[in-house]
Structure 1
Amino acid sequence: MKKLLASFAALCLLVSNQTIFAQTEPLISPRPLTLETARGTFQLNAATTIIAAKSLTTEADYLKDKLSAAARLNLKISSTSKAANHKIILALEQNLSATAGKEGYQLTVNATGVKITAAEKAGLFYGIQSLLQLITQQENGKNVTIPFVTIQDKPRFSWRALMLDEGRHFKGEKVVKQLLDDMAMLKMNVFHWHLTDDQGWRIEIKKYPELTKIGSKRKDSQLAWRSEKRSGKPHEGFYTQEQIKEVVRYATERHITVVPEIEMPGHATAAIAAYPWLGTTGEKVEVPVTFGKFKDTYNVADPKVYTFLEDVLTEVMALFPSKVIHIGGDKVLYDQWKSSPQIQALMVREGLKSPADVQIWFTNKISEFIASKGRRMMGWNEIMGGKVHENIDEKETTVKEKLNQGTIVHFWRGTTDMITNAASKGYDLVNSYHIYTYLDYDYKEIPVQKAYEFNPIPEGLDPKYNKHVLGSGCQMWSEFIPEVADMQKKIYPRLAAYAEVGWTDLSRKDYTYFKNTMKLIEAHWKAEGVDVAIVDYDAKTEETKQ
């Protein structure tokens, strides 16, 4: 934490150079909905007091710690403003809910001080992030000022996510917390945590210890797509339930919801390696050392498999307060189901016409269990059926079953008509179209400008269905990215572009303004010790420079 605070102090020293970019308004990322400036500045000093109700202690302490590092001022926190004339006020005002929603805020800086108001705590927290980016400071540290501004701001979308895949390569708690800090600065609010996959099971489940004893380890790792080259060393790692609780606590303080992803019915080889009876064939398998699509699937005709999955989800939901639980559902190969007498008998018994119908039938059962716990299921768009992948027979993906209505569909692949189709049927969606949002793709495929220009609402969608597009997510898949430094170069600087996609209103998007903010944001990241890719921001396609 001290390192992060110190890095923020370095950022604030650099923010004093904002005027060199010849902007007519101060630089804030993501760009606010409205920002009006006035002549003058408010000066922070030792007499400045943070005024906040005791119910806002977490937010007030966060601001105090950040200002202590940035401005070397140890400000007092008080629940009353009577004795303070030089103040920063944090206040909840319920009447703002109509205009600002749950995450919007108003920020005013004038001669009397600073005031941040919001209908809910999340809005106050985002107002604090904008305030911190407004601070200017001379290098001697004696003159800490904030320009006079009036900001009214709220996000375009309610779902602004970063996904981290640790099923393939485990990164650890320290890396996750740094990502959470950088998400918070950029007003991103969902950390989508991909914790299980064919190549690794990364979450402790106390009722099934073999999942981590066996499923969290593999003997080797493929180094490149369709390559015979291997790392030559084993890979392992998982989070204990206590570690999970700590990450969730840390995220919650930053108003970030952690959404766990527990893959089913495919991407299940690590679990089947731990408990072979979970698989459709019942055969013993090992945790794979290669990446790609695997045939191993849960035996969805076996009641014992549902007991297992419900047990796992029960422990998961006890750890994660998120109202949304992600069950994956992508890239299921149907080979084992097609040759399984049990699955074929299930299809006859339930009147299921295709393997995709089997998957929807299974998904609905899981959805109903999750709903019974007061949660909501989410899955990749294969859970609706339809020909998402070129190498799968269309007959296998033609469906008569209907996905449960309360499900959130996470679009990542296929035609954008699939989004229109789902939205028109009343399904809520998150748009993570891979050609715009996959962080494992290099900068030639997704340069920063392309990421910035992504619109989660597809062209041609009837405006009456816009409300069903909850937002977007960017995905850090990790198959061939074992090292943290390499992962960071994929994430940074594109993370800031995706933050603007989720937050900034289309009327306020300005790529020149964004590029200028990046000079400051990159300085902050580098002060943190992050490996930021060197990119040409104006390139339509480009290779990453090292």
Structure 2
Amino acid sequence: MSKKTTKSVTTGSQAAVEVNKACYDVVPLPKHTQLTSGEPFVLSSSVKIVYPTANEKMRKNAEFLAEYLYQLVGYKPATTTVKPADKYIELNNSLRDNNTEAYELHVDSKSIQINGASEAAVFYGIQTLRKATPLVQGNVVFPAVDIKDHPRYAYRGMMLDIARHFQPASFIKKYIDILALHNINTFHWHLTDDQGWRIEIKKYPKLTEIGSKRSETVIGKNSGKFDGTPHGGFYTQHEIKDIVQYASDRHITVIPEIDLPGHMLAAMSAYPELGCTGGPYEVEKQWGVFDDILCAGQEKTFTFLEGVLSEVITLFPSKLIHIGGDEAPKVRWEKCPRCQAKIKELGIKGDEKHGKEFYLQSYVTERVEKFLNRHGRNIIGWDEILEGKLAPNATVMSWRGIGGGIEAARLGHNVIMTPTSHLYFDYYQTTETDKEPFGIGGYVPVKQVYSFEPEPDQLTAAQKKFILGPQANLWTEYIKTPSHVEYMTMPRIAALSEIQWLDASQKNYDNFLHRLPRLIDVYNRLGYTYASHVFDVQAVLQPHPANGALSVNLSTIDNAPVYYTLDGSDPTVNSTAYTAPFHIKENATLQAVAIRKTGSNSRIFSQEVKVAKSSFKPVTLLTKPDLQYSYSGATMLVDGLYGDKTNYKTGRWIGFHAQDLVAVIDMQQPAQVSEASLRNYVETGEWIFDAAEIIVESSNDGKNFTSVAAEKIMDKHTTHWAEVVTHTLKFSPVTARYFKVTMKPVSAMPDWHPGKGKRAYIFVDEIALN
């Protein structure tokens, strides 16, 4: 999908040779690019790559560049330490810059020169040159240019979970190559969990003999049915050393994660004496959070952890070691005599924030941290390590939103931002989930990734300096194969690379979309599997009260022709051609498709519109939705668009927490209404419950309201449940201009729920008055 430009040039004895022009509009975009007036450089098979003598890393850089060019243009330039008289590409690491990853790229008629402040910086200059090169067989023209570039963040991470579904070492290397293509310098490797232990520990051989294998895997979301197929695998220490070196050659640091004290069932199945009850335990076949965690009241637990970590730090030279710390229920500790004795011995007390068992976990974390500090390492933990006393030198990985990161930065701790809302790549990439591989849920499209700003406004300039950078995470409960890993990673990782590399002022999503197809050309050449949603029809649907209609704006990344229907039929070239925004005022099923000359048509976009009397009317929220689930706000309640029945994070459901939903709809003129219909998304495992009460009131002045109807809802469930529930209140016809609708959540979650006593979320997609 890249554009190729041809022109005739003369290079020595070569005349009128057709060449293809390079383009420096790459991803991530360099900080400063200035085309100059000089003659271009013509890359041909005779060009050599020069690197400094006696620098092994630069030799490898030169070989990488030669291999990259071979992949793109079909010939591999020779590498040398002797500068030739004729045309050449020169690599140097003599640039002086406070940012050790800064580089400069200069092109003139004689040479291409990449000079960096380090060997890693040169590698990023190579990536820019690589992505600027068109995919052709033959010579390439590089316009004269001066590029000066450096990344915004020193930490640029991507995580892969291989505990839930194991991937071979060969694919891990391929994954590292994908990170390198996107200028990512940190690979966070999630190696252990309840469902499998994936790293050889010689002191504890049963970790892999037993802990690396589960008997079968649950089908779907803990359906109670299993596939009957054993799943297992682990990396030998030799394989790990090889992978770590492979990453290091590409200037990528590998950070291992050994999750503790929770998510340890695989280890406890091998060594049941590590648990509070003594087992027996088994490698978990299902997904979730489990009560059995390491016993914190016995010394053998710490002997085990130090034994494991002693071998981990010999395999991974990274300064940081990830120790998890997330999702560790305290149920066993509350009843374990040894844990309670340890609490008493340490003089641990609970307080208004946390029970004493939370501070026992803080003791575990700090003790592990001291061990690693003695060996010259520091810890990273998920933001749960803030619950209690934060270990002195810990880095916090903020995943449950950005709140944990804000708190840690205010405490003077380093932070890596990786919120579920923007950077969880196991979440769906489209609202049309029925057309996707089965997944965990959620909704994080490319645009959502690109919109993330790692430095919240709530922090001062001094506090923002503790934000090391952003990272995306890919958990694999529902991701079994390498191709599925790639599909969930690309092209979202391209958006990630720009929020990691570019200053906030440089980011521009439309410009990013313009540049993205050139990078996708590289994906195609390398045989990567990627999601193509960015090439589908993008629809912006907004209620328009002035017209009493839904405004429809359709577009494509490459301005491909779009055709649409409103009756639910599949659109073709014979359907209505989209030329400008239009309005929908009645029930309709909008379907649209981009039809390209290449034959690579988009998938059909489909959206049902259900119109009520209240649809597209002005609406005001008197309460605030949860920031993470507010999306486009109050208008979502009257836009005629209904939410997905299996995914509350698509932007169609608006969520409230510890708040009533109170909305006032202005019918714009007196209207007769005898029915109010609302839909609740319920998924109690996510702390989302059905409404407890609904109240409808009317008014003619918008100030004084009279009760019209009310309904109290009794939830008789005693176990987790999930459903979309429709509530319809019917009443004698009322004529009024304003209608206030109040929906109250349950005042406290029931005793059977892990969040008992706390207030639940409510999620609503539409209020329909008729």
TM-score by length of 1: 0.89
**Is the partner of 2:470 in helix, strand or coil?**
strand
Structure 1 CA distance, aligned partners of 2:507 and 2:199?
Answer: 39
Instruction: Tell me which of 386, 391, 401 is aligned to 1:404.
Output: 391
Whether the 8 Å CA contact 1:266–1:330 is kept in 2: the answer is yes
Structure 2 CA distance, aligned partners of 1:17 and 1:328?
Answer: 50
Q: 1:421 to 1:222 in 2, by over 3 A?
A: same
Displacement of 1:483 in angstroms is 2.5
Structure 1 CA distance, aligned partners of 2:534 and 2:31?
Answer: 27
Structure 2 CA distance, aligned partners of 1:90 and 1:349?
Answer: 61
Max Rg structure: 2
In the comparison of the two structures, how many residue pairs are matched? 508
Displacement of 1:379 in angstroms is 0.5
Structure 1 CA distance, aligned partners of 2:381 and 2:90?
Answer: 41
Whether the 8 Å CA contact 2:22–2:142 is kept in 1: the answer is no
147-156 or 227-236, which deviates more: 227-236
Matching of residue 289 in structure 1 with residue 288 in structure 2 = no
Q: 1:77 to 1:488 in 2, by over 3 A?
A: closer
Q: Which residue of 1 is the match for residue 502 of structure 2?
A: 504
Displacement of 1:540 in angstroms is 7.6
Whether the 8 Å CA contact 2:182–2:494 is kept in 1: the answer is yes
Instruction: State how 1:268-417 maps to structure 2 within 5 Å.
Output: 268-353=264-349, 354-385=356-387, 399=388, 402-413=389-400, 416-417=402-403
Structure 1 CA distance, aligned partners of 2:315 and 2:296?
Answer: 25
Matching of residue 208 in structure 1 with residue 204 in structure 2 = yes
- Residue identity matched to 2:97: S
Q: Which residue of 2 is the match for residue 49 of structure 1?
A: 48
Q: Which residue of 2 is the match for residue 396 of structure 1?
A: none
Q: Which residue of 1 is the match for residue 728 of structure 2?
A: none
Structure 2 CA distance, aligned partners of 1:185 and 1:276?
Answer: 43
Structure 1 CA distance, aligned partners of 2:357 and 2:496?
Answer: 35
Structure 1 CA distance, aligned partners of 2:167 and 2:539?
Answer: 31
Whether the 8 Å CA contact 2:259–2:324 is kept in 1: the answer is yes
Displacement of 1:349 in angstroms is 1.1
Q: 1:356 to 1:270 in 2, by over 3 A?
A: same
221-230 or 440-449, which deviates more: 221-230
Instruction: Tell me which of 432, 441, 444 is aligned to 2:427.
Output: 441
Whether the 8 Å CA contact 1:25–1:37 is kept in 2: the answer is no
Displacement of 1:50 in angstroms is 1.5
Instruction: Tell me which of 397, 400, 405 is aligned to 1:419.
Output: 405
Structure 2 CA distance, aligned partners of 1:326 and 1:252?
Answer: 18
Displacement of 1:358 in angstroms is 0.6
Displacement of 1:87 in angstroms is 1.5
Displacement of 1:493 in angstroms is 1.3
Structure 2 CA distance, aligned partners of 1:487 and 1:380?
Answer: 22
Structure 1 CA distance, aligned partners of 2:32 and 2:139?
Answer: 27
Structure 2 CA distance, aligned partners of 1:505 and 1:133?
Answer: 20
Gaps of 5+ in 1: 1-10, 386-398
- Residue identity matched to 1:315: E
Structure 2 CA distance, aligned partners of 1:540 and 1:481?
Answer: 30
Structure 2 CA distance, aligned partners of 1:79 and 1:89?
Answer: 9
Which deviations, in whole Å up to 9, do the C-alpha atoms of 1:119-150 show, x marking residues without a partner? 1110000000001112246x4x3322212221
Q: 1:468 to 1:301 in 2, by over 3 A?
A: same
Which deviations, in whole Å up to 9, do the C-alpha atoms of 1:59-113 show, x marking residues without a partner? 11111222233333342323232x433121111125x222xx1111111111221
Q: Which of the pair is proportionally richer in strand?
A: 2
Q: Which residue of 1 is the match for residue 414 of structure 2?
A: 428
Which deviations, in whole Å up to 9, do the C-alpha atoms of 1:276-321 show, x marking residues without a partner? 0111211211111101001111112211111111111111111111
Structure 2 CA distance, aligned partners of 1:133 and 1:74?
Answer: 16
Instruction: Tell me which of 12, 17, 34 is aligned to 1:36.
Output: 34
Displacement of 1:24 in angstroms is 13
Which deviations, in whole Å up to 9, do the C-alpha atoms of 1:323-367 show, x marking residues without a partner? 110000100010000000111111111122211101111100000
Structure 1 CA distance, aligned partners of 2:232 and 2:321?
Answer: 25
Q: Which residue of 2 is the match for residue 90 of structure 1?
A: 91
Structure 1 CA distance, aligned partners of 2:539 and 2:466?
Answer: 33
Structure 2 CA distance, aligned partners of 1:431 and 1:451?
Answer: 12
Instruction: State how 1:58-69 maps to structure 2 within 5 Å.
Output: 58-69=60-71
Q: 1:93 to 1:332 in 2, by over 3 A?
A: same
Instruction: Tell me which of 454, 457, 472 is aligned to 1:456.
Output: 454
Which deviations, in whole Å up to 9, do the C-alpha atoms of 1:138-179 show, x marking residues without a partner? x4x332221222111111111111111011110111221111
Structure 2 CA distance, aligned partners of 1:89 and 1:487?
Answer: 36
Whether the 8 Å CA contact 1:163–1:473 is kept in 2: the answer is yes
Q: Which of the pair is proportionally richer in helix?
A: 1
Instruction: State how 1:460-475 maps to structure 2 within 5 Å.
Output: 460-475=458-473
Gaps of 5+ in 2: 8-20, 350-355, 432-442, 542-601, 605-770
Whether the 8 Å CA contact 2:22–2:143 is kept in 1: the answer is no
- Residue identity matched to 1:49: K
Displacement of 1:228 in angstroms is 2.2
Instruction: State how 1:120-199 maps to structure 2 within 5 Å.
Output: 120-136=118-134, 139=136, 141-199=137-195
67-76 or 318-327, which deviates more: 67-76
Q: 1:216 to 1:540 in 2, by over 3 A?
A: farther
Structure 1 CA distance, aligned partners of 2:243 and 2:6?
Answer: 34
Q: Which residue of 2 is the match for residue 257 of structure 1?
A: 253
Displacement of 1:232 in angstroms is 2.3
306-315 or 478-487, which deviates more: 478-487
Which deviations, in whole Å up to 9, do the C-alpha atoms of 1:170-214 show, x marking residues without a partner? 011122111111110110011100000000000011111100010
Whether the 8 Å CA contact 1:103–1:120 is kept in 2: the answer is yes
- Residue identity matched to 1:154: H
- Residue identity matched to 2:366: N
**Is the partner of 1:159 in helix, strand or coil?**
coil
Matching of residue 489 in structure 1 with residue 477 in structure 2 = no
Structure 1 CA distance, aligned partners of 2:6 and 2:188?
Answer: 33
Whether the 8 Å CA contact 1:31–1:509 is kept in 2: the answer is no
Q: 1:449 to 1:494 in 2, by over 3 A?
A: same
Q: Which residue of 2 is the match for residue 528 of structure 1?
A: 526
- Residue identity matched to 1:166: I
Structure 1 CA distance, aligned partners of 2:91 and 2:225?
Answer: 56
TM-score by length of 2: 0.63
**Is the partner of 1:262 in helix, strand or coil?**
strand
Structure 1 CA distance, aligned partners of 2:344 and 2:71?
Answer: 66
Structure 1 CA distance, aligned partners of 2:204 and 2:220?
Answer: 32
**Is the partner of 1:440 in helix, strand or coil?**
coil
Displacement of 1:17 in angstroms is 6.0
Structure 1 CA distance, aligned partners of 2:335 and 2:210?
Answer: 27
Displacement of 1:545 in angstroms is 5.9
Q: 1:220 to 1:171 in 2, by over 3 A?
A: same
Task: State the identity as a percent.
Answer: 36
Displacement of 1:526 in angstroms is 2.8
- Residue identity matched to 1:463: A
Displacement of 1:15 in angstroms is 6.4
Give RMSD over aligned pairs: 2.3
- Residue identity matched to 1:16: K
Displacement of 1:18 in angstroms is 11
- Residue identity matched to 1:142: G
Structure 2 CA distance, aligned partners of 1:75 and 1:431?
Answer: 40
- Residue identity matched to 2:244: V
Whether the 8 Å CA contact 1:18–1:27 is kept in 2: the answer is no
511-520 or 294-303, which deviates more: 511-520
Higher-RCO chain (CA-CA 8 Å, sequence separation at least 6):
1
